[in-house]
Amino acid sequence: MVNALGTLQGKHALVTGGGRGIGLACARALLLRGAKVTLAGRDFAALVQAQQALRALGEVAVQTIDVADETSVNAGFAAAAERFGRIDILVNNAGQAKPAPFLKTDTAHWQHMLAVNLSGVFHCCQAALPAMLDAGWGRIVNVASTAGLTGYRYVSGYVAAKHGVVGLTRALALEVAAKGVTVNAVCPGYTETDIVKEAIANIVAKTGRTEEEARAELAAGNPQKRLVQSEEVANAVAWLCQPDSAAMNGQAIAVAGGEVM
């Protein structure tokens, strides 16, 4: 099934962290709506594997980028734009979560959480926004987290960074509101991704609980008593990228089964 919906025909979308999980699901959703997609990330092998899985759906390319490195972002975005034209849609999905009690969160850990989860969004927005403003049209969707809307124990650096992403989303949305560009965030709850797999493994290692018990503990915060699926997050992202979603701006939409309201 190629270009099933077609509403983003001719648009170029760049998805960071596009090799797996939510990023891969977002890329698929955007391809199905007619966009050309650049999968960006640090793991070239994972990007190529994702590209092969998606190739039948439309035009898809890969670009190695470290979002925490401004030089890498600028070079990678320039290469992507040379290949497929200006970046019309930016999905800032790349992120990492590493647990640590606050008093065991050293400066290096703290700075790493900010660099990947918050500064990465800043670098990518700065790289993509000028061309969007010149064109008078653009969509930026930041994949934050319910951790950007509420607190969680033992991940203070991650929570602080994701709150920063929501704040950046709102501030930038106001700056570009009258210029044809929208900036929104989606905030997934615990989602069936590698990050959650790592969280489950950490719970098992530290508490002796079974994997099933650890999974149930994470799902318990969702009133639907389940983990969110990557495709559910991707559907929200794709909707925000539609031309007829132009009135959606500066929003932080929880995709979490009612965990936060």
Q: Report, as residue numbers or ranges, the catalytic residues.
A: 158
Distance CA 94, CA 143 (A): 8
Which tokens in the block code for residue 259? 């965990």
Residues shown for the chain: 261
Backbone angles phi, psi at 72, to 5 degrees: -60, -40
First to last CA, the chain: 36
Q: Report whether 256 contacts 222 (CB < 8 A).
A: yes
